[in-house]
C-alpha cells in the first residue's frame, strides 16, 4: 500500500481478514521488490516481473484509468485488476462544473483585465445563463454520471454517448453515497459512438470522460469539431489523445469553438512549446482535476468493499476488462 495506514484502517482490514499483514512500501521500481508473500497489491505501477510475486491474486489501481497497462504481462495471468473508478467522480465533476461556469461567465478574460489596470467594457464581457442549454457527456461511468447530476442541477438538458447505450445502469463503485446517476435516468437521449456527429451537433457543451483505448483514440477530430455548434465549448478530463490536439487548437483559433478546458495531454508533462499555451480561450490545467486532499480515505472505502468481496469470492467492483481496456 502506498499510503499511511491508520489504526482505524488496520482495524477495518482485520475485521474483513483476520490476521492479515498490511505493509506500506515506498519504492521506485516494483520489479526490484521481492513480493513472494503478497496476495493483494494496492498500487499505480504494476510489476512486470510477476515471477517475484507468485502469490499475487489481485491488484487495486490508484487511478480510474488503466491505459498504462496496455500490453502488460498481468493480462496473461489469473490476477484480477480493479481500477479506482468512482473515487474521483465528485472532484472531477466539480472541476467540470466550475470550468464550464468560468467560461460562461468569461472569467479567464475578466481575470486578465486586472493586469491592464483599466475598467473594461462590461457589455463585451457579459456572462450567459446556462439553464436550458444542452450538455453532451461522452462516457458514462462514475465521473460522467456525477457530471450529469451537477449540470442537470443547473437546468441543463443532458445527452449521453457511450459504447453500449442500451446498458444504462452503473456497475462500478461509488464511495460518495447520493451522488451520480446509478440507474441512468438523467440523460434525455442516448447515443452510440457511430452517432457522434449527430450527438455533438446538439451540444452547447461537450464533456469528454471516456477512457483511453484504441477505440477512443482521436475520437474527436476536425470533422467532429466542425459538427459542433458555432460558439460551443468542450471540456476534456480523461486522457490525452482522445481529442485531437491540433484540431482543437485550430477550432479555438478560428472561433468555431468559443472555449475549452483541457486537463490531460498526449505528452505529460507538457513542454514549454506546447501549442496550447498560445491558444486563446483555453483553460489549461496539469492533469489535476482528480487531485484532491483526503484521497486515501475515499479510496480505502472502495478497497475495503472490494476486499470483502475478494475474501468471499464475489465479483469485484471496477474489474478491468483486458479486451475493452478499462
Each residue of 134-149: pLDDT tens digit? 999 999 999 999 999 9
Residue 27: other Cβ atoms inside 10 A: 12
pLDDT of residue 322: 81
Judge contact between 142 and 237, C-beta under 8 A: no
pTM of the model: 0.89
| 59 vs 319: CA distance, rounded Å | 10
| 102 vs 98: CA distance, rounded Å | 6
Average pLDDT over residues 172-200: 96
pLDDT of residue 1: 53
pLDDT of residue 91: 97
pLDDT of residue 65: 81
| 138 vs 246: CA distance, rounded Å | 20
pLDDT of residue 112: 86
CA dist 300 → 75, 84, 165, 323 (Å): 24, 10, 31, 27
Average pLDDT over residues 185-201: 98
pLDDT of residue 106: 95
Judge contact between 213 and 239, C-beta under 8 A: no
- The class level of CATH for 89-284 reads alpha beta
Average pLDDT over residues 230-259: 97
pLDDT of residue 311: 93
Please classify residue 222 by burial: count the beta carbons closer than 10 Å to its beta carbon, then call 0-12 exposed, 13-18 middle and 19+ buried: middle
User: Above 90 in pLDDT, residue 279?
Assistant: yes
pLDDT of residue 5: 78
Each residue of 283-319: pLDDT tens digit? 999 999 999 998 988 999 999 999 999 999 999 999 9
Residue spans per domain, the chain:
7-87+292-311, 89-284
Same CATH topology for 7-87+292-311 and 89-284? Answer: yes
Q: What is the DSSP string of 65-95?
A: --GGGTT-GGGGSS-EEE--TTTTHHHHHHH
How would CATH label the architecture of 7-87+292-311?
3-Layer(aba) Sandwich (3.40)
Active-site residue set: 239, 268, 287
User: Above 80 in pLDDT, residue 2?
Assistant: no
CA dist 183 → 110, 192, 319, 321 (Å): 39, 18, 19, 22
User: Across all residues in the chain, what is the average pLDDT?
Assistant: 93
User: Above 60 in pLDDT, residue 160?
Assistant: yes
Least confident range from 82-96, 135-149, 176-190, 291-305: namely 291-305
Amino acid at each position: 500500500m502506498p499510503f499511511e495506514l491508520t489504526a482505524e484502517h488496520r482495524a477495518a482490514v482485520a475485521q474483513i481478514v483476520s490476521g492479515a499483514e498490511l505493509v506500506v512500501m515506498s519504492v521506485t521500481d516494483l520489479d526490484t521488490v521481492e513480493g513472494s508473500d503478497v496476495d493483494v497489491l494496492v498500487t499505480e505501477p504494476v510489476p512486470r516481473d510477476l515471477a517475484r510475486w507468485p502469490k499475487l491474486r489481485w491488484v487495486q489501481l490508484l487511478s480510474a484509468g488503466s491505459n498504462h497497462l496496455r500490453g502488460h504481462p498481468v493480462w496473461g495471468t489469473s490476477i484480477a485488476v480493479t481500477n479506482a473508478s468512482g473515487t474521483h467522480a465528485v472532484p472531477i465533476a466539480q472541476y467540470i462544473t466550475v470550468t464550464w461556469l468560468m467560461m460562461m461567465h468569461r472569467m479567464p478574460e475578466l481575470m486578465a483585465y486586472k493586469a491592464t489596470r483599466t475598467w473594461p467594457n462590461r457589455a463585451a464581457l457579459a456572462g450567459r445563463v446556462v439553464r436550458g442549454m444542452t450538455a453532451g457527456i461522452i462516457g458514462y461511468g462514475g465521473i460522467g454520471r456525477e457530471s450529469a447530476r451537477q449540470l442537470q442541477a443547473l437546468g441543463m438538458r443532458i445527452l449521453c454517448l457511450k459504447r453500449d447505450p442500451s446498458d444504462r445502469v452503473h456497475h462500478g463503485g461509488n464511495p460518495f453515497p447520493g451522488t451520480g446517476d446509478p440507474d441512468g435516468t438523467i440523460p434525455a437521449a442516448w447515443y452510440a459512438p457511430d452517432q457522434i456527429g449527430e450527438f455533438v451537433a446538439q451540444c452547447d457543451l461537450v464533456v469528454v470522460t471516456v477512457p483511453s483505448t484504441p477505440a477512443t483514440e482521436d475520437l474527436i477530430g476536425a470533422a467532429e469539431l466542425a459538427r459542433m455548434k458555432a460558439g460551443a465549448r468542450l471540456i476534456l478530463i480523461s486522457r490525452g489523445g482522445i481529442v485531437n490536439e491540433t484540431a482543437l487548437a485550430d477550432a479555438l483559433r478560428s472561433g468555431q469553438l468559443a472555449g475549452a478546458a483541457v486537463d490531460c495531454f498526449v505528452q505529460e508533462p507538457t513542454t514549454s512549446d506546447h501549442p496550447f499555451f498560445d491558444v486563446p480561450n483555453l483553460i489549461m490545467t496539469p492533469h489535476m482535476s482528480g487531485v484532491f486532499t483526503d484521497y486515501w480515505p475515499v479510496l480505502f472505502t472502495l478497497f475495503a468493499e472490494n476486499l470483502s468481496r475478494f475474501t468471499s469470492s464475489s465479483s469485484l467492483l471496477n474489474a478491468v476488462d483486458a479486451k475493452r481496456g478499462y
